[in-house]
Each structure stands twice: as structure tokens, then as C-alpha cells.
Amino acid sequence: MKEAIAPGKIILSGEHSVLYGQPALAIAVNRYARARILAHPFPARVLFDLFNLRHHKDLTVKALKRVKARVSRDYHDFLKGERGIKDVLKLPQELSQFALSHFLEEHDRYSDQGIHLKTESSIPIGCGMGSSAAMILAVKFALAHHFNEVIDKERLFQLALEVENLQHGRSSGLDLRVSLQGGALEYCEGIFTSMSMPSVPLYLVNTGSPLSSTGECVMHARTIFEKTNLAAEMGAVTLAVKQALNQNNLSDLQKAISANHQLLLNLGVVPLAVQKFIQAIEAKGGAAKICGAGSLQGDAAGMVLIACEDDPSEICAQYAYIAEPLVGDSDGLRIV
């Protein structure tokens, strides 16, 4: 049985400031959300088999429509300032439920045969790797393949963006575009430009799921960006990262990553425990920074990017972390 797979992503530079007209650099990586569609023996029913969430539930189409309607109402309340973004999707499985229902409605497939959706993912949830975007794309593309629907990728992007907004409030679309297209991309104010894949030694470390949501960190950052010149400073650092990558200059890249880390400290989204870990990396001649929204509380901040000549596994082990080489994905969303 074929399945749709969509890669996760890492932001090399430009997290947060990308929402304020500044460039961001991102790369698709070899961790994937996977979705398969099977036939359900009963019509007008949908069986959700979501492995990572340990969720196995059979819903009628009528019940699924109620979930979609409730989530849509709550999102409109969020847009009006009457509800927090964490109150829109009340349960983790509602993201896949909404994505599937959204597709069925868009393509008028509610009256077709029953559906069995199976998903699993190797992308850590809530760690800045675009797990939500990848799963939305995988579910929708698997449905299109199952129903033999020819769906333009630009249309797929727009439909997926509507769903991702439910998770993050107002998405820039960066996660979706990188997962959809694959490779390395520069993004600025709605325009995506392909880049060469990095060839300098880069590593990833998962510090754990942040206690703060992306939406909470974005809302916190907004108050700072509106009062300071921090967004422009981040934009300048991102251009320095881009130049260093283009020139394959590890030393310059480390300087730019360290500067990026300092700006994220100023933003208040790097927990103390992660700060101490990054200090240890810097003490050994490397550079490191968080790759996503970070966190306003707790000890975890999702994924950390490390640029260093030597394998940082020994230092990471002292903090109970595991370092893995960054391996890119050039193909993006696809059927395998």
C-alpha cells in the first residue's frame, strides 16, 4: 500500500522575524510524516488510526462535520480576540480530523465510501520541525491519491495553510512550503527562493518539547518587535548566515549563528537550561541556536542547531542530549 510522506524542516535563521518582513532560511530534513488511506467497510464513516497519538477511533461523517464546524467557530473567535489559539484545537487528533474533513468538503467526497486513515511520524511534535505542516500535507496528498484527484501543488499549499492556521494562529506558510517542495529555501514576504543544500558540518539536538506553544511565543515576541529594532537585526544576521553558507565558510557561519542566538536571548525565548548547553558548545569552539519558536518557560526549547567541526556528541551526552548530523531532503512531499 502506497503512502504519502512529507519531510519536516529546520529553520537555519530567521525564526520569529520572518513574520515581520525579514528573510528566513530553512531546510527540509529526513524526518517524515506519513499517511495512508485504506477502504473502510462501512460507508459514511472514517476510522482514524493515528499511531504517534495512540488514537484509534471510528467517527461517522456527521460527527466529523461537527468537529470541523466547532473548530472553525473557535478559530473565528480567536481572530476576533475572544479565544486563545490553544483553545481552537482542543485535542491533538483534531488536526488530522480537520485536515481530512476539509479535503472531503473541498472535493465533495463526503458521500463516498468509508475511509481508514493511518498516520505516523518521525518528526518530533512541538519541537520546531514543522510536524503539523508535514502531517497536514501528508493527509491531504494521501486522500488525493486515494480518490485519484489531480491536485495542483499551489492549490494544495493554500488549502493546507487554512488548516495550519488553526494550529499556529496566522502561519507564514514557511513550514508548509519547505515540506511541500523539499531542499533549502529562503523566504521573505511571500517569496520563496531555492538555495543550495548546506555542505558545512551541522548537527541537530532535540532538547524536548517546549512548555510554551508556538502561538504563545509568537504573541510574546510581537510585543518586543513592536517596540524595538530587533526584527531588522535578525534580518541582517540571516543574510550573514546565507552568505556564510554560500561560501561554505564554517567560521563565518558560527559567528552569525552566535549572533542569532544572542538576539533570541533578547527575545526571551531560550530557556536557561538550553542557554547553559549552548554556552558549553561555544566553549568548545562551536556555535548553536534554537531552530523554532523556543519557549517562555520550562527547560526545553525543541530543536537546537549546532555548527562545529567535530562531532558534539560528547558534550551533548553531558546534558542527556543526543546529537545527529543534519541530513537534508531534496524531494519534499511525495507518494512512496
The pLDDT tens digits along the chain (336 residues) read 689 999 999 999 998 998 899 999 999 999 999 999 998 888 889 999 999 999 999 999 999 999 999 999 999 999 999 998 889 999 999 999 999 999 999 888 876 678 999 999 999 987 889 999 999 999 999 999 999 988 888 999 999 999 999 987 878 788 999 999 999 999 998 899 999 999 999 999 999 999 987 778 888 999 999 999 999 999 999 999 999 999 999 999 999 999 999 999 999 999 999 999 999 999 999 999 999 889 999 999 999 999 999 999 999 999 999 999 999 999 999 999
CATH 3.30.70.890 positions along the chain are 199-325
CATH number of 4-192: 3.30.230.10
Domain 199-325: CATH class, spelled out = alpha beta
* CA–CA separation, 291 and 207 (whole Å): 11
Contact indicator for 274, 280 with CB cutoff of 8 Å = no
CATH 3.30.230.10 positions along the chain are 4-192
* CA–CA separation, 267 and 263 (whole Å): 6
* CA–CA separation, 120 and 92 (whole Å): 13
State pTM to two decimals: 0.89
Burial tier of 178 (Cβ tally within 10 Å: 0-12, 13-18, 19+): buried
SS3 call for 150: coil
Start-end of H helices in the chain: 61-79, 94-106, 131-146, 153-168, 174-181, 214-225, 230-246, 250-267, 272-283, 313-318
SS3 call for 120: strand
The owner of cell 486515494 is 146
pLDDT of residue 169: 81
* CA–CA separation, 251 and 199 (whole Å): 13
pLDDT of residue 112: 66
Contact indicator for 324, 204 with CB cutoff of 8 Å = yes
Local structure of residue 20 (DSSP, 8 states): G
